[in-house]
């Protein structure tokens, strides 16, 4: 039974890959948009600080041409705040620096964990 499932999964994956490799069908007479921005630019950011659950994460990123700079932060499972600062460009590639520190007070949960009772 397991061999049949594995065979079916492999067949499905092969079919999906073959479909992805087929050229996209474009109706005849529909012009393709081939414009390329020679100097793409964007900026975005988001921030989540949920005091009830302690969910604390954020990201910001800016692109100017071929240079991308940004950072993101998340609270790790051990309770520390991990912040990654990154840059990417055609000359230096992708580079990241990771900093760890305490979680900001505003992002800590309002509900304190309750210790389990000791049963004796």
pLDDT tens sequence across 57-113 = 899 999 999 999 999 999 888 888 899 999 999 999 999 999 998 876 655 554 445
pLDDT score of 51: 79
Spell out the residues 6+ positions from residue 116 whose beta carbon is closer than 8 angstroms to its own.
Answer: none
Q: What is the pTM of this model?
A: 0.57
pLDDT of 49 > 60? The answer is yes
**Number of helices followed by number of strands (H, E) in the chain:** 1, 5
Count CB neighbours of 68 within 10 A: 16
């Amino acid at each position: 039974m397991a061999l049949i499932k594995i065979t079916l999964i492999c067949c499905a994956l092969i079919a999906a890959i073959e479909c992805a490799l087929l050229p996209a069908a474009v109706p005849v007479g529909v012009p393709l948009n081939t414009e390329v921005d020679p100097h793409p630019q964007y900026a975005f950011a988001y921030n989540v600080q949920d005091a009830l659950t302690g969910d604390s994460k954020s990201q910001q990123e800016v692109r100017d041409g071929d240079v991308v700079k940004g950072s993101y932060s998340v609270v790790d499972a051990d309770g520390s705040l991990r912040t990654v600062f990154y840059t990417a460009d055609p000359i230096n590639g992708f580079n990241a620096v990771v900093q760890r520190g305490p979680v900001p007070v505003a992002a800590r949960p309002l509900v304190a964990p309750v210790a389990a009772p000791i049963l004796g």
